[in-house]
Amino acid sequence: MVAGTETAPLPPRLRRRPARIALLVTAFVCAACGLVYELSLVTLGSYLLGDTAAQASITLSVMVFAMGIGALAAKPLRRHAAAAFVAVELILALLGGLSVVMLYAAYAWLNIYTTALIVIASILGILVGAEIPLLMELLQRIRKQEPGSAVADLFAADYVGALLGGLAFPFLLLPVFGQIRGSLIVGVVNAAAGLALVFLLFRTELRPRARWGFGALTALVAATLFGSYFYADRFEATAQQALFAHPIVLHERTRYQNIVLTESISPFGTPDTRLFLNGDLQFSSVDEYRYHEALVHPTLAGPRRDVLVLGGGDGLALREILRYPDVETITLVELDPEMIRLARTDARLTALNRNAFDDPRVRVVNEDAFSWLRGSPGAYDAVLVDLPDPDQTSIAKLYSKEFYAMAAHVLAPGGTLAVQSGSPFFAPRSYWCIANTIRAAGLRTLPYHVDVPSFGDWGFVLATRDTEPRLRLDPPAPLRSLDEATLAAAAVFAPDRRDTGAPVSTLMHPVIVDLELREWRR
């Protein structure tokens, strides 16, 4: 204790061992809550913006820096450690519990997400950083001990609590309660832990007026958090709708992604159903046939007895493949089983994919495509890579040289691979990065592009291992958007949209994500 600092005399009961245990348990709980706040901010950013690495770096670096500021700021408060700790925990509970709500609102309505993230992470970091010095002061008031021993006890409780928070967030709070309600619950726990410690063990250090003031503040924080909990669904639905131009008819947050279906009437008077995964448009029912015909039919112009589809959980590529009666087996590898369930059961999707998953030739594998390919699952005459755009770090491996090398390994002699590759018009460096990465994996490539009004100019890469790839068609019936003349034009690129010399993307150097984000934001 600082020389000259006066504190209230400690009641005899506080000299007992249980008091120290109670304080260390409080440190344990507060550390768990603090880590949950950090993980909530990182996860929300990855859902809304992609680029998980950047979101984690910004959030963690800002919070750790702010924690240092908070620790320094707490030094003058040590004389009134009990009152300061209650105040810190109540403010932290309120702001931490509402942090996801505030950031989601900043993204949906104000378009100032990054600025809001830095401000909120800074405030939370300052408050979390102030906890340890104040708890250290209270611990010494219970029983004087060597500074090194006190630090060891407190930091042990803090680190173990962080482990609890780190495990509880992905395995309990996120899947059971969701991000908004999970953060609100943690806020309540945070406030309860701080209040219980001070009001049960250090009540005599608070003046009556302070006790009444903290009681009123507690009631306000509790009312705000509980009210937000009950209105969480309504807030989330309103905020989500602000992000989409058309009415949302289905929303599901699965273990892997956020699935949204919207529905409206197109300018042509027909229903327009749109699928969004983590905010990115996957298809519009008005023109999705243009995309899927361009992906599937040039690939199946050659051998096609056994077909592999990586991604494509909506079943629309399956619909096109099943038009070929000589296709014997189709293996579809889709990570998210909930996407498959929707594609099998949702009336809007089954009308579009024509109940493709009910065909006995189709086998669904719910695994990560990268991990599944590592098992050398066999040889396929045609491989279709229909994966989401690489705007998240977690997807970068599916656009890497290593991934395409494994895909080439499962190609049967004479087989053909096709990869959806983004827009050569809006994101040319990203598009040519994919083409060059496929080539670096040992395949011969033929880039091509078609017009899909919902996306604009959209590109693909056709690749083979044994012979030079050729754009040709051999469908069992005429197609709606493709013919030989259209396909011949698809291989021609304007001078300012030709190969930019983009680098190859690998597991250890995933340049594709950075290129994708920079070009689309530009």
Euclidean distance between CA atoms 29 and 194, whole angstroms: 9
Euclidean distance between CA atoms 372 and 391, whole angstroms: 22
**Count of CB atoms situated within 10 Å of the CB of 477:** 5
Inter-residue contact 295 to 384 (CB < 8 Å): yes
DSSP 74-129: TGGGGGGHHHHHHHHHHHHHHHHHHHHHHHHHIIIII--HHHHHHHHHHHHHHHHH
Helix (H) or strand (E) holding 277: strand 271-277
The crossing angle, in degrees rounded to 10, of helices 81-105 and 113-142 is 160
**Based on the number of CB atoms within 10 Å of its own CB, is 376 exposed (0-12), middle (13-18) or buried (19 or more)?**
exposed
Q: HSE (CB half, 13 Å, CA atoms) of 133?
A: 23
Inter-residue contact 191 to 221 (CB < 8 Å): yes
Euclidean distance between CA atoms 101 and 250, whole angstroms: 21
Helix (H) or strand (E) holding 134: helix 113-142
Is 287 marked within a binding site? Answer: no
Six-digit token pair at 173?
Answer: 């709070």
Closest Cα partner for 420 from 400, 399, 441, 396? 399
* 475 alpha carbon, distance to own chain's centre: 38
Active-site residue list: 386
Euclidean distance between CA atoms 170 and 35, whole angstroms: 12
Is 314 marked within a binding site? Answer: yes
Mark the binding-site residues, compressed into ranges: 257, 292, 314, 334, 368-369
